[in-house]
Amino acid sequence: MNRILLSGLAGVVLFVWGFVAHGLLPFHDGVFHAFGDETRVAAVLAEQGGEPGVYYLPIGADQATDRLRAFVNLQPPGAGPGTGQQIAVGLLIQILAAFVGITLVAGTPEAGYARRVGRFALLGLIIGFSSQGFYWNWFGFPSDYAMVMILDNLIGWTLAGLAVAGLMGADAGPELP
């Protein structure tokens, strides 16, 4: 089976896992918190931020630890998740990521099923630690949030590996240098 078909299958698995983990399971519920008065906070953010983008408080040279810190992704009304375009782009992102993962794993044709699944799981850990570890360390994201997101990546990539590792034969691609 060629890499493009395998990437499509693995990308769909990653996409479906993301939907299940974020939409159906209470997997992330404990790490997201609500403001006491969302209407008031939203009004202040709209007034003070205005433009869509990422805001960090405090910004600049004054990084004193005795000040409130915040990391906010400000989006205008109507930009919520679940639009057709976001779903299509999200699936495409997962397929492209799976293509890279399959290219790496396909470079080891001697590896059996379990070893290939393990390599996909390792990719999930690498992605999780390199992205979420960064935010945990530098922006003070909570440890429970970082761990859930790392586990989310590990599970998704392991499931993708379970789906495609057995289908990766010698025709999955040439060994990489």
Maximal CA-CA distance, the chain: 59
Handedness of CA 10, 17, 119, 92 (dihedral sign): positive
CA distance readout (Å), 172 to 4, 109, 131, 150, 155: 9, 8, 28, 28, 23
pTM of the full predicted structure? 0.83
Q: What is the pLDDT of residues 60-71, one digit of tens each?
A: 766 666 778 888
122-165 confidence digits (pLDDT tens) = 999 999 999 999 999 988 899 999 999 999 999 999 999 999 98
The pLDDT value recorded for residue 32 is 86
CA distance 145 to 93: 23
- Neighbouring-strand partners of residue 55: 72
